[in-house]
Structure 1
Amino acid sequence: MKIVLSKDFEVKVHFVLEDEKLTMLSDAKRDYAKNTLEFKGEKKSVYADLGPGSDNIVVVGLGKYEDLNHDVFRLAANIAAKTLETNKVKEASVIINKYDGYCTRKMTKSYIEGFLQNDYIFDEYLSKKTVKNVETISIIPIEGKDESAELALEETLGIMEGVNLTRKLVNTPSMDMYPEVLAKIAVDELSGLGVEVEVFDKDKIKELGMEAFLAVAEGSEKEPKFIVMKYLPKGEDKPAITLVGKGLTYDSGGYAIKPADGMYTMKADMAGSASVVGAIYALAKNKTENNVIGIIAACENMISGGAYKNGDIIGSMKGTTIDVVNTDAEGRLTLADAIYYAATKVNSSCIIDIATLTGACVVGLGEYTVGAVTNNKDLYKEVKKASKRSGEHLWLFPSFDEMRDLLKADFADLKNSTGRWGGAITAGLFLEHFAEEKPWVHLDIAGPAYSDKGWGYLPKGATGIPVKTLYDFVARKDMPIDEKYHKN
């Protein structure tokens, strides 16, 4: 789908509030829509008059004014795109109205995103490729807001390219997406955008003392890769927001082997790393102004004669020893070394790690919500604001010393699993140990990163969550990355 500005096509798309006068319709059609079809502009409702002899118009309801938000705009545009697609409309003009309290540029971005969300497909492995009907959408800006619309279009295209890159990485089967491939794609996609990408091989990983990461990787014939991506528009001497993504390109569970149903979607266990690649792509593509570093410890968790075992005691880059209670609690082991590297080897103002970490998070919060653990509530509040603006749901778990005590082991410094109760919290607190008191937020995306059915305007398979949140958080011009967050 191509998005253009100010081009007049025969088919028109309008968005209306509930009980708003349908002035875009003729008297007869207005009466038919309101009285016969009972179209009143409720949220997600549609009136369509398309085809020969029609008015060639689509009207999508936004619902009540008091319930408006940018996700309502995204969803309405996505519904319009699906309606055009179903009716095999190739091109349409979209009329945008001004609403008090809503920034024109941000509202335009939301509408554009809603249309682009419907355009994503993953058909690389289908013998018959998918052909989309809608070829061109023209956004008709609010009068006098042409420049705002141009800026909104350019930024949204960059963001959605990053989101779709993440989706492609996650949706690709593990037979074709393993550490070496992930590292190569990071180099290929980011280097041309001014991002410095460095890939460490197994020898370098050993040299750094990343014993926890290497223990997880040992069971696979695929060599682990440690990937560092630096986008530093403010210069190397300024601190950076550091994003750390879980990079398990496949997780069998190791000797704590998963059941077959549990392994089927484990190609998605690298969604955290994919979201870091996608976010940095979008940030660099849009030439945002803040420093950001991405870090990925990429490997597979497999079974072999050399694989680590339940009951092993392993080391870590920090020097902390870890009792391996469960080899299927592997992501936190790879992240332990990656987060410690972020805290000690690069100039991080703060650290955000992103991981499909625990089933417990899905049990607690469901499929649609990202769970968070933090050592710094001020930092979390900023991430929360970014998630709200982005339409990605986020919820903070409580954390306290009694939960940290559960991580203490009898024969090692820590254990990597504490059992069923509060598992999403204790997994996050395990990672906290390696953040070295840097302001840090952990995002558990096990629920929303991958969907068997899709929801709202998001597709089946990889959703791209939380790329938009990460982008919004880093891209803000007022982000105080040169200042320390208040410790709390």
Structure 2
Amino acid sequence: MEYFVKSGAPSKQRSGCVVVGVYERRKLSEAAQALDGATGGAITQAMRRGDMDGRRDDTLLLHGLDGVLADRVLLVGLGRERDFDDKAFVRANGAAIKALRKTGATDAVSYLTHLVPRKRDLSWSVMRAAMIAESTAYRFTQCKSKPEPQEGRLTRLTFDVASRSHLPEGEEALRRALGIAQGMMLTRDLSNLPGNRCTPTYLADTGRKLASDYPAIKTKVLDEKKMESLGMGALLSVSRGSREPATFTVMEYMKGPKKAKPVVLVGKGLTFDSGGISIKPAAAMDEMKYDMCGGAAVFGAMKAVAELGLPINVVGIVPASENMPDGQANKPGDIVTSMSGQTIEVLNTDAEGRLLLCDALTYVEQNYDADCVIDMATLTGAVIIALGKHASGLYANQPTLAKALTAAGELSGDRVWELPLWEDYESALKSPFADVANVGGREAGSVTAAVFLHRFAKKLRWAHLDIAGSAWEQNPKGATARPVPLLMQFLLQRVDNSKQK
């Protein structure tokens, strides 16, 4: 789809459709009022007939109105005006895109970007509207022999701004949104691929392709021999049970000041998780292809950063493996030695993601003077019990980093909730035979997993995102690309803050 930003009166738009909002109890938005005046009250008449009341998610399509150059006018319900917030904006724009795709319109002009929620601005509204349009239109068809045709004919969408003086701001917001959308699409594609196609080698090849597509990205891939020489015993203990070799992909994007410390993103790339010897139940095991969503998010964020050409230093790292039952696989009670030298008793082989991440965090500590490190993983079912699908779990050893990520989550709609990283929980991970156990029992499972990782990140300014509940959804089943919006908002805020200094 092509996207544009312009400014003009809704009645003067030569378009297949003009989109305007209506609040509950038939209260017209300013753009709807302008159309109502140009048409001699046609919209008001439709309201009085009871065709629409303005409730959330309601839409009404009007054809051939006199006084309007557009072929159609789409009315979108906004709910009560006093309750119009971020969520209402998202729902209205999503409902508009779905309704437009059921029409024969090839192009449309949306005035919903005029409806800026409290504490938000024009840039926010244009960015969110464009990202919603791209997300709503996304379809995963790579594995279908005959992909279903896209619904509707819409190929061009224009977002209107209040005046021509706002065009530069709107155009920059649109540019950013489309760059982030490109990264989100890559993340969703990787996550939705089945495990027999998206292997650790496939992920490494994705990193190489990013370097080929974007000269600013430099990629290197460590094979198992190199990982062994570095002492990555925790990571390699997981891959031993699989015929697929592990990979360790490092992507560097250094377009910021030379002396500026990089932000390092680390993502768990477990391309299929059977649970290993501690095998998972058969029901819904197909969803374990999503155990690499953290790694997929790192690839997506790196693509978005490069697409936008951000003046910042970012490193993306994806340790990747399968977790399978085999004669060489980890057994409950095995003790492995991590890259840091700490020994780990593997009490549950299904707690393998932390074994990948702990060696990756040590690699970061030894190779980069990072400003901050953010790791992300579909790490625990416990975080789903605690937070459901709406928020990712956040842990951080530095309050200002936690605050910045929380703020970025609120602004992007990709929200997080901070959970405790207290020393009190360390006792749950004590082992009589090794330095630490890889699990701490049923209680506070997400917390003890984060506490485990923190043992390998104490010298870093570090945050951990447990995205097990937010990285994919059930109905319809598919990846969400979270936390790419959060990561990009965090990075964009750093770029904008540096410009203001």
- Tell me which of 172, 176, 200 is aligned to 2:193: 172
The answer for the alignment partner of 2:50 in structure 1 is 37
State the Cα distance separating 1:147 from its structure 2 match. Answer: 1.5
State the Cα distance separating 1:412 from its structure 2 match. Answer: 0.5
The answer for the alignment partner of 2:449 in structure 1 is 427
Secondary structure, in 3 states, of the residue corresponding to 1:417?
coil
Query: Residues 312 and 50 (structure 1 numbering): CA distance in 2 closer, same or farther, change over 3 Å?
Result: farther
Percent identity over the alignment?
Answer: 35
Secondary structure, in 3 states, of the residue corresponding to 1:292?
strand
1:249-283 Cα shifts (integer Å, max 9, x gaps) = 11110000111124211111000000011011101
The answer for the alignment partner of 2:174 in structure 1 is 153
1:316-345 Cα shifts (integer Å, max 9, x gaps) = 000111010000000011101011111221
User: Does the 8 Å CA contact 2:56/2:91 hold for their aligned counterparts?
Assistant: no
Query: Residues 149 and 480 (structure 1 numbering): CA distance in 2 closer, same or farther, change over 3 Å?
Result: closer
Query: Residues 50 and 344 (structure 1 numbering): CA distance in 2 closer, same or farther, change over 3 Å?
Result: farther
The answer for the alignment partner of 2:101 in structure 1 is 85
State the Cα distance separating 1:65 from its structure 2 match. Answer: 4.4
Q: Does 1:139 align with 2:145?
A: no
Q: Specify which structure has the bigger relative contact order, considering alpha-carbon pairs within 8 angstroms and separated by 6 or more residues.
A: 1
Q: How does 1:239-318 map to 2 (within 5 A)?
A: 239-318=261-340
Q: Does 1:20 align with 2:37?
A: no
The answer for the alignment partner of 2:123 in structure 1 is 105
User: TM-score normalized by structure 2?
Assistant: 0.90
State the Cα distance separating 1:290 from its structure 2 match. Answer: 1.9
Question: Matches of 1:309 and 1:101 in 2, distance apart?
Answer: 53
Secondary structure, in 3 states, of the residue corresponding to 2:263?
strand
Q: How does 1:3-402 map to 2 (within 5 A)?
A: 3-6=3-6, 8-18=14-24, 20-21=27-28, 22-23=32-33, 24-25=35-36, 26-27=39-40, 29-37=42-50, 39-50=52-63, 56-95=72-111, 96-97=113-114, 99=116, 102-132=120-150, 133=152, 134-144=154-164, 145-193=166-214, 194-402=216-424
The code of the aligned residue for 1:141 comes to V
State the Cα distance separating 1:140 from its structure 2 match. Answer: 2.6
- Tell me which of 417, 424, 436 is aligned to 1:414: 436
Q: Which moved more, 1:409-418 or 1:73-82?
A: 73-82
Question: Matches of 1:225 and 1:381 in 2, distance apart?
Answer: 33
Gaps of at least 5 residues in structure 1 are 455-459, 482-488
1:8-44 Cα shifts (integer Å, max 9, x gaps) = 4131111344453342234553344333336343333
1:110-136 Cα shifts (integer Å, max 9, x gaps) = 112221121111011222223222221
User: Does the 8 Å CA contact 1:121/1:130 hold for their aligned counterparts?
Assistant: no
Query: Residues 16 and 289 (structure 1 numbering): CA distance in 2 closer, same or farther, change over 3 Å?
Result: farther
State the Cα distance separating 1:107 from its structure 2 match. Answer: 1.3
User: Does the 8 Å CA contact 1:98/1:142 hold for their aligned counterparts?
Assistant: no
State the Cα distance separating 1:417 from its structure 2 match. Answer: 0.7
RMSD (Å), alpha carbons:
2.2
Secondary structure, in 3 states, of the residue corresponding to 2:394?
strand
The answer for the alignment partner of 1:486 in structure 2 is none
Question: Matches of 2:369 and 2:247 in 1, distance apart?
Answer: 21
Question: Matches of 2:333 and 2:51 in 1, distance apart?
Answer: 65
Question: Matches of 1:223 and 1:200 in 2, distance apart?
Answer: 11
The answer for the alignment partner of 1:484 in structure 2 is none
The code of the aligned residue for 1:30 comes to I
Query: Residues 298 and 310 (structure 1 numbering): CA distance in 2 closer, same or farther, change over 3 Å?
Result: same
Question: Matches of 1:478 and 1:384 in 2, distance apart?
Answer: 17
State the Cα distance separating 1:66 from its structure 2 match. Answer: 4.3
Question: Matches of 1:197 and 1:90 in 2, distance apart?
Answer: 40
Question: Matches of 2:305 and 2:341 in 1, distance apart?
Answer: 34
Query: Residues 104 and 8 (structure 1 numbering): CA distance in 2 closer, same or farther, change over 3 Å?
Result: farther
The code of the aligned residue for 2:18 comes to K
Gaps of at least 5 residues in structure 2 are 7-12
State the Cα distance separating 1:367 from its structure 2 match. Answer: 2.0
1:129-149 Cα shifts (integer Å, max 9, x gaps) = 232222211223321222222
1:415-437 Cα shifts (integer Å, max 9, x gaps) = 00111110010001100000033
1:71-105 Cα shifts (integer Å, max 9, x gaps) = 43333222101001123432212124264754222
Q: Which moved more, 1:17-26 or 1:423-432?
A: 17-26
The code of the aligned residue for 2:16 comes to E
Q: Which moved more, 1:17-26 or 1:279-288?
A: 17-26
Query: Residues 259 and 50 (structure 1 numbering): CA distance in 2 closer, same or farther, change over 3 Å?
Result: farther
State the Cα distance separating 1:313 from its structure 2 match. Answer: 0.7
User: Does the 8 Å CA contact 2:415/2:486 hold for their aligned counterparts?
Assistant: no
Secondary structure, in 3 states, of the residue corresponding to 1:427?
helix
Q: Does 1:476 align with 2:493?
A: yes
User: Does the 8 Å CA contact 1:290/1:475 hold for their aligned counterparts?
Assistant: no
State the Cα distance separating 1:393 from its structure 2 match. Answer: 2.2
1:359-396 Cα shifts (integer Å, max 9, x gaps) = 01111111222011221221111001111111112111
Please state which structure has a larger fraction of its residues in helix: 2
Q: Which moved more, 1:406-415 or 1:436-445?
A: 436-445
Secondary structure, in 3 states, of the residue corresponding to 2:137?
coil
Equivalent pairs counted in the alignment come to: 476
Q: Which moved more, 1:214-223 or 1:260-269?
A: 260-269
Question: Matches of 1:51 and 1:328 in 2, distance apart?
Answer: 61
State the Cα distance separating 1:186 from its structure 2 match. Answer: 1.5
Query: Residues 71 and 159 (structure 1 numbering): CA distance in 2 closer, same or farther, change over 3 Å?
Result: farther
